[in-house]
């Protein structure tokens, strides 16, 4: 079976864009991607679109053109964009189509995400107790992890410091000013051990990716950025997830528990026929600084507890052994839910094309990895290769 290729990419700047709707931002990204692929909207055979708070994506046909295109909406928490991409590549792999689009956009109101218990099949009392406040859950989760594996608050600060430093060089990032490690660590606490600089913010933005069969990509004359693997998985038994926070008693709690991310990652590496050491650059879900740390291990790049040394030695920096979140990730870009997972893949295409400018990974990277995670324990992973 031939590979699915990414032949066009487009992005609308993340952050806050007053007077521009989420749909407007998605349309902007689609038009950018069409121009990048040197094709016109009527050539698109199908679309998978994701949005959480900015309306139904399929309504963008009013702006792009009423061609009768098949357009399916995807809503899957923070993994919505990754799920849209997974679905799009499957449509091409099936042989039914040869040119399609994955698009995601959002425009969240200011303030924390307002998740409702009923949306996750939870009783009202769960929210009344404050358990839907994600900052509290993520703080409790990282506290447990830090205790079990010897991770210090300094490591959390280093993740955030790197994110803001990388974001300076990403035109699409929201936070484009460096923040010192001292300022990050000394900032007001939101939920212990996290200070205000260690959480991402709900945001706005749009991303579009045009996918093609290898045959069609060659016809278009585009460099072959191959989607070697795309996986999406839900949580297994005994995992510890946002909005699914119970922990079963197990005989040896020091052993890694199964998670949606571990399953999706292992399957992606199997499909791509490579391993973690073969990856040149990675984008990992960093809703908060500790998420990047935990996901380094869950995606197979290091063992639990090794992150402290990795960060102190600069292994995840732009010029390190495994650059992580080269555009600043969610911490610098913010998180418009529908677009966030697609932003990661957009950034990886930029890196594989060598177009990263001040954030470009040196050494002519050939492989790129993306991982997105959301409630209540869903994860999507992609592996690109050129």
pLDDT at 240: 82
pLDDT at 78: 79
4-112+204-227 and 117-200+228-385: same fold? yes
Answer CATH for 117-200+228-385 from 3.50.50.60, 3.30.930.10, 3.90.850.10, 3.40.47.10: 3.40.47.10
Average pLDDT across each block of 10 residues of the chain; the chain has 386 residues. List them in order: 92 96 97 98 98 93 97 87 92 96 94 82 86 87 95 98 98 97 97 96 96 96 94 89 76 75 96 98 97 97 97 97 98 95 97 97 97 91 97
Write the secondary structure of the chain as one string of H (helix), E (strand) and C (coil).
CCCEEEEEEEEEEEECCCCCCHHHHHHHHHHHHHHHHCCCHHHCCEEEEECCCCCCHHHHHHHHCCCCCEEEEECECECHHHHHHHHHHHHHHCCCCCEEEEEEEEECCCCCCCCCHHHHCCCHHHHHCCCCCHHHHHHHHHHHHHHHHCCCHHHHHHHHHHHHHHHCCCCCCCCCCCCCHHHHHHCCEEECCEEHHHECCECEEEEEEEEEEHHHHHHHCCCCCEEEEEEEEECCCCCCECCECCCCCCCCCCCCCCCHHHHHHHHHHHHHCCCHHHCCEEEECCCEHHHHHHHHHHCCCCCCCCHHHHHHCCCCCCCCCCCECCCCHHHHHCECHHHHHHHHHHHHHHHHHCCCHHHCCCCCCCEEEEEEEECCCEEEEEEEEC
Q: Rounded CA gap, 364 and 334, in Å?
A: 28
pLDDT at 112: 74
pLDDT at 82: 87
Q: Is CATH 3.40.50.300 the right assignment for the domain spanning 4-112+204-227?
A: no
**Domain locations along the chain:** 4-112+204-227, 117-200+228-385
pLDDT at 253: 65
Q: Please answer whether residues 385 and 226 qualify as being in contact, where contact means their C-beta atoms are separated by less than 8 angstroms.
A: yes
pLDDT at 193: 97
Q: How many CA atoms lie within 13 A of 149 on its CB side?
A: 24
Instruction: State the pTM of this model.
Output: 0.95
């Amino acid at each position: 079976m031939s590979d699915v290729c990414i032949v066009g990419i487009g992005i609308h700047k993340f952050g806050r864009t007053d007077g521009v709707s989420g749909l407007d931002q998605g349309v902007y990204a689609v038009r950018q991607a069409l121009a990048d692929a040197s094709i016109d909207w009527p050539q698109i055979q199908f679309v998978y679109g994701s949005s959480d708070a900015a309306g139904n994506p399929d309504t963008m046909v009013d702006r792009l053109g009423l061609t009768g295109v098949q357009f399916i909406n995807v809503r899957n928490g923070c993994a919505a964009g990754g799920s849209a991409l997974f679905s799009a590549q499957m449509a091409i792999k099936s042989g039914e189509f040869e040119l399609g689009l994955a698009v995601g956009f959002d425009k969240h109101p200011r303030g924390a995400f307002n998740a409702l218990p009923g949306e996750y099949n939870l009783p009202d009392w769960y929210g009344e107790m404050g358990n839907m406040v994600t900052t509290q859950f993520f703080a409790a989760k990282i506290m447990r992890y830090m205790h079990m594996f010897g991770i210090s608050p300094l490591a959390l600060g280093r993740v955030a410091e790197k994110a803001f430093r990388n974001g300076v060089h990403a035109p699409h990032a929201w936070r484009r000013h460096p923040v010192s490690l001292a300022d990050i660590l000394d900032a007001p606490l939101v939920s212990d051990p996290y200070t205000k600089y260690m959480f991402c913010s709900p945001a706005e933005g749009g991303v579009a990716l045009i996918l093609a069969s290898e045959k069609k990509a060659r016809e278009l004359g585009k460099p072959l950025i191959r989607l070697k693997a795309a996986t999406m998985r839900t949580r297994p038994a005994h995992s510890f997830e946002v909005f699914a926070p119970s922990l079963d008693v197990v005989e040896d709690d020091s052993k890694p528990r199964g998670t949606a991310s571990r399953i999706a990652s292992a399957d992606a590496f199997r499909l791509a026929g490579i391993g973690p050491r073969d990856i040149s650059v990675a984008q990992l879900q960093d809703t908060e600084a500790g998420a990047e740390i935990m996901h380094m291990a869950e995606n197979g790049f290091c063992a639990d507890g090794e992150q402290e040394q990795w960060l102190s030695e600069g292994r995840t920096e732009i010029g390190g052994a495994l650059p992580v979140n080269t555009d600043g990730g969610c911490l610098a870009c913010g998180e418009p839910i529908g677009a966030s997972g697609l932003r990661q893949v957009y950034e990886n295409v930029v890196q594989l094309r060598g177009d990263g400018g001040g954030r470009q990974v040196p050494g002519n990277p050939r492989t790129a990895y993306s991982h997105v995670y959301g409630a209540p324990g869903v994860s999507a992973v992609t592996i690109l290769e050129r």
